[in-house]
Amino acid sequence: MEPTPPAHALVRAALDALGIDAPAKHLTGRKGADTWRAGEWTIKTALPGARGHLGHETAAYELRHRQGLHPGVRHSASDNGRWLALPWLEGRSL
């Protein structure tokens, strides 16, 4: 499914926050939630009302980071939606 203009705006906000000038590659999307790759980052975007709005996932990654089990994430939320950026890890998906 092709991402909507609001999803593109969210990923642009993430790219700006991460200091990435190159465009993000859209990997997958469904019902307002999209996944992108940009440089060494995986970026997830979620529009308001999207299934899996990323709030819980963000909190889980931050907890794992505080426990020393994950390198950390960057994220932001607004009335337009939410984005979450995670370091790209090579290898097989779980």
Residue 63's CATH number: 3.30.200
Task: Report the number of distinct structural domains present in the chain.
Answer: 1
Task: Label residue 60 by pLDDT band (50, 70, 90).
Answer: very high
Rounded (5°) CA angle 5-8-13: 130
Q: Is residue 94 part of a domain?
A: no
pLDDT score of 69 more than 80: yes
For residues 4-13, give the mean pLDDT. 95
Task: State the pLDDT at residue 53.
Answer: 74
Task: State the pLDDT at residue 1.
Answer: 76
Place of tokens 């607004």: 78
pTM of the model: 0.88
Q: Is residue 93 part of a domain?
A: no
Domain, as residue range, for 30: 5-87
Task: State the pLDDT at residue 26.
Answer: 97
Task: State the pLDDT at residue 93.
Answer: 66
* Token pair belonging to 37: 């790759």
CA distances from 72 to 4, 65, 68, 88 (A): 28, 5, 9, 11
